[in-house]
Structure 1
Amino acid sequence: MTPTTAAVAGLATDVHLPDGDGPFPAVLVRTPYDRRRHRAELRGWARRGFAALAQDVRGRHASPGEWHPYRNEAADGAATVRWIRRQPWSDGRVVAAGGSYAAHCALVLGTGADPDARADAVVAAVPALGAAETAREPSGPERLLARAAWWAAHGDRPDSDEAALERALAADPALLTHLPLTGLPERLGRDLPSWPGLWRRRGRGRLLADAERAGVPLLAVGGHHDHFTEDTVALWRRWGGPSARLLLGPWGHALGSAPGADADPAHRVNLGDLYARWARRALDGHLAPSRHGAVALGGSPRWLPAGMEGVPRTQDLRLLRGARFTADPARPVRSGDLTVPADGPPDRCLLVTPPLPCPLDVVGPVRVRLRAGADTPSADWAARLVALTPGGRAERLAVGVVRRDRPAGERAGFTVQLGRLSRRLAAGVRLRLEIAGHHFPAHARNPHTGDDPVTAVRLLASRREVDPAGVALRLPVLTTPVAPTDPAKEILR
């Protein structure tokens, strides 16, 4: 059937019905990224017997109103679910689905308190849980590059310009170095009144708290190279519904269409087919009341059961240079550059492991324990783990940044969380650990003045001292053989 466009809850909505008389279960995708992009997806759902709907959220593309990210999604989504259940083609069951911001729209429908407006199952891919979660690391540092790109493309406008920041950086490569960062809209030539307010949002965890009270099945999908990996896993762990499934592949934010260098052909998954099969079983009550899933082991063809983690093992490290270094925000360590300067005053502390004598399967959270200090009362500590192959290639594995406000000159122990790895490291690989004061432009520069990095207009260099004997790199290593699993079986059981 050819899709029709309707005003549902006052918002532009494409509706694609299956052939036949019905009634049908429905799938709802609410998106700020243009509902028309989902027409092939709607056809796929309809072929599998679902009434499929894609809706432009308020203030975006063909939907009227003002666009305020994260503000209206619960109410507008609830009104749309009520409308679906009143239609003659609806059997009353609704699956809320989406990726990134659209996953947020789906999640608020799965965690709502009103059963008449609540979805019956949720598919959440690479979920953007909320404004505060997307803007900052849990430890405080601002995710500058990703948020600047998103706001330049989508913020305070009814349409999108995906390449806006890329063009602006081509015209002015130093665009993100200009201060204050609140002045970015003017330098972009755009009116972005919501940009400063983004950085004032510090309340995290609201959606996760609601997830603990959810009463419907969840399928959470993510990638190990996505910046929302930790949020995806936390959502799966804390989901309070009758069943929760997790699928994590060696992918970026675009999932299977953005595989990492560690992806194997065995990690290819037909996500559309898997979503539909899972949704049918979830609606029919055929999923086991449990928490299951599958996690790809990058650098191998294997899938492992979700929830499995290795035993923390401390790796031997040798100092190369930089036990004392200067973190200068005017010349920060660049997040996209794995080249390490070989001369001049050190801008980071460098340590390296011996070559691995045998392959190592690393599955779980990576941590670095430090004993270090700064001569400024505010300091960011960025730890980056890099794999060095015997052939000389460098590949970033994990990064963590923590902000510490401590008395100047105080040396203390603390931990930097580098996120989650699921990776087979080959024999002969050495691991390089970099400890720096900045990870720019992925993260905003700490100005070391005590001022907010978003509004600061002055920068100071910060002298750092790291105790090499106090650095401990802890990797979660699988120490016993683990039987591989089939991702489809784990998701559908």
Structure 2
Amino acid sequence: MTTSLQRDTATSPAPAPRAGRPPLSAWLMRATWRGLPAGRHDVGWHSRLVVPAADGTPLVTDHYFPRAAGDFPTLLVRSPYGRGLPWSPMLGILFAEQGFHVVVQSCRGTGGSGGTFDLWRNEPADGLATVSWLREQPWFNGALGTIGPSYLGYAQWALALEPPPELKAMVVQVGLHDPHAFFHGDGAFALENALAVGAAMTYQHRGLRPFLRATLRLRKRLRAITTARPLRRAHTAAFGDDVTWLDGAMTHPDANDPYWHGASPATAIERPSVPTALITGWHDVLAGQTFEQYGRLRRAGCRTALLVGPWTHTSALGKGLPEVFAESLAWLRAHLCDDRSGLRATTARVHVGGENAWRDLDEWPLSPATTPWFPTADGHLTRQATAPDAPVASFRYDPDDPTPSLGGPLLSATAGARDNAALEARPDVLTFTSAPLTAAVDVLGPVSARLAVSADTGHTDVFSRLCDVDPAGRSVNVCDGLGQLSTGDRAPSQVTVAMGAAAHRFLPGHRIRWQVSGGAHPRYARNPGTGEPRAEAVDFTAVRVTVHGDSALLLPVPAEDG
């Protein structure tokens, strides 16, 4: 097992447990939320309980419970981000007041728990040890569910690798199962998001003040870090040596590298034993992993449900909280309390952009077939193919002045849908735009691009984005993705770019726009243009990139719209 993902944490005796009501800060946050159902029970709290891992390591745990007589199911939440805000009100109080015991535990090496935090590696065994502890509690009735977002979702998949018989339901909110895909899923290191994860993983469990200081340090030094040559270890300017695993994640781009062995509990997704609700947003950094989870579960015959909202990774549990909580509560009541009154009749519920409405669907994706749209030399996007070998347009990508990232699936406040006007005015961004639509066009499913491109060095990235242009000329991003050309010669090559999935209606009078550029920095580490590894490159060269006629934007449009 590699040690490069490990972070040592000083082990000290766990603080004494406390009993009573949850802290005032949690109640104050709970009071700010609107659109949530009224609580059914008053909530009690046992804090700083110690659960022994299989090797005896103390795992510090809080227990929220309904202050009422009765038999209540249990929810397990395992987090490396601490047990305070926002988990205390969002998972502890909200679900305890609806009639659940909620056990919130700090992962090994975080939040006062003993041992060493080793990203991805200890969660299966520590989760099972916690279930063993639950079996000994007098209030545990044998009905267990799990819930939580992001890495808390990963901890759920880790437990499901060997699901205990008590595990009856899971709710994975904006969660991941494949660490490598998070860091390198588009073939280029997800630089900005990786840095944000570094701050959260390392400092959030230490308390609000250390986390805010680290976040502000990162924001202040972001440009210097992301433009450093070499990129490797530049993050120490913000984090010092606290985030040693980040260097390892950055320098192992190959999914088959032994470095990543055992990191993904993907096999748990192919087992039909635990009914699982999945929640994501169209601009969630983990949306692609959620869709993969949904597809695998459906193929395995597992009971599952999918909710996709107009959210980013963080706003799903912000502005999206009423919908997310209702979905989560209905699923848990159905499978832990035998109360199916809140379940919807359809498998999937998606928010459709453009028309700003929800649709209930029997399946996702609704439109597996694709309709090609072709670029022209005068900047149009048409349904008519152009001469396949003819150059259509070109641009010069300069890594010393990289094309900036704007909106999309980020972990920062700039994530989501944004007006791309300033970005599209740059000379290193190509746009191909349809005529105003005479009828609505629905895009429902995975979007991709087939690009015939050449580069004068034979090495370049190709960033491809779908935008909706309204009658006033505002160009708003819908979905996007990155591909690479690494042939080492100047001949045109086919590059397929997966651009994520979308549920979007292009209204009459609007136009469909395809945006093509050489990168999105600092969302992705820059391509040096030389073929050298991004983390190690010191010498960079500008690249002339040409798009050829045998290129197409592939949209999943229903037959009646095609």
Q: Normalization by structure 1: what TM-score? A: 0.87
- Aligned to 2:372, which of 291, 306, 314? 314
**1:113 counterpart residue number:** 162
Aligned partners of 2:271 and 2:477: how far apart in 1? 37
Which residue identity lines up with residue 88 of structure 2 in the other structure?
R
* SS of the residue 2:235 aligns to: helix
Q: Verify the 8 A CA contact 1:215 1:241 in the aligned structure 2.
A: no
**1:490 counterpart residue number:** none
Aligned partners of 1:168 and 1:26: how far apart in 2? 38
Q: Verify the 8 A CA contact 2:484 2:495 in the aligned structure 1.
A: no
- Aligned to 2:439, which of 351, 355, 358? 358
Give yes or no for the alignment of 1:213 onto 2:271: yes
**1:3 counterpart residue number:** 45
CA-CA distance at 1:196 after TM superposition? 0.9
**2:415 counterpart residue number:** none
Cα distance change, pair 104–430 in 1 and its aligned pair in 2 (3 A): same
**1:454 counterpart residue number:** 535
Deviations 1:75-102 (A, max 9, x none): 1111111111221111112101110111
- Aligned to 1:471, which of 551, 554, 557? 551
* SS of the residue 1:401 aligns to: strand
Cα distance change, pair 396–13 in 1 and its aligned pair in 2 (3 A): same
Deviations 1:222-258 (A, max 9, x none): 1111111111011011123641111111111124455
**1:46 counterpart residue number:** 96
Give yes or no for the alignment of 1:283 onto 2:320: no
Aligned partners of 2:227 and 2:128: how far apart in 1? 42
Q: Percent identity?
A: 28
Q: How does 1:141-290 map to 2 (within 5 A)?
A: 141-155=188-202, 159=206, 161-162=211-212, 164-170=214-220, 173-191=223-241, 192-199=243-250, 200=252, 202-203=254-255, 206-239=264-297, 240=300, 242-257=302-317, 269-283=322-336
Gaps of 5+ in 1: 260-266, 482-493
Aligned partners of 2:550 and 2:277: how far apart in 1? 41
Q: Verify the 8 A CA contact 1:85 1:93 in the aligned structure 2.
A: no
Aligned partners of 1:126 and 1:393: how far apart in 2? 29
Gaps of 5+ in 2: 1-42, 53-57, 380-391, 408-419
Supply the RMSD in Å over aligned alpha carbons. 2.7
* Structure 1, 310-319 or 415-424: larger mean CA deviation: 310-319
* SS of the residue 1:194 aligns to: helix
Which residue identity lines up with residue 304 of structure 1 in the other structure?
D
Q: Verify the 8 A CA contact 2:83 2:205 in the aligned structure 1.
A: no
Q: Normalization by structure 2: what TM-score? A: 0.77
**2:147 counterpart residue number:** 97
The size of the alignment, in residue pairs, is 467
Q: Verify the 8 A CA contact 1:385 1:397 in the aligned structure 2.
A: yes
Q: Verify the 8 A CA contact 2:157 2:268 in the aligned structure 1.
A: no
Cα distance change, pair 162–424 in 1 and its aligned pair in 2 (3 A): farther
Q: Verify the 8 A CA contact 2:82 2:205 in the aligned structure 1.
A: no
Which residue identity lines up with residue 248 of structure 1 in the other structure?
V
- Aligned to 2:393, which of 317, 323, 345? 323
Which residue identity lines up with residue 315 of structure 1 in the other structure?
W
Q: Verify the 8 A CA contact 1:314 1:473 in the aligned structure 2.
A: yes
Deviations 1:327-357 (A, max 9, x none): 21111111128324658xx423332221222
Give yes or no for the alignment of 1:333 onto 2:386: no
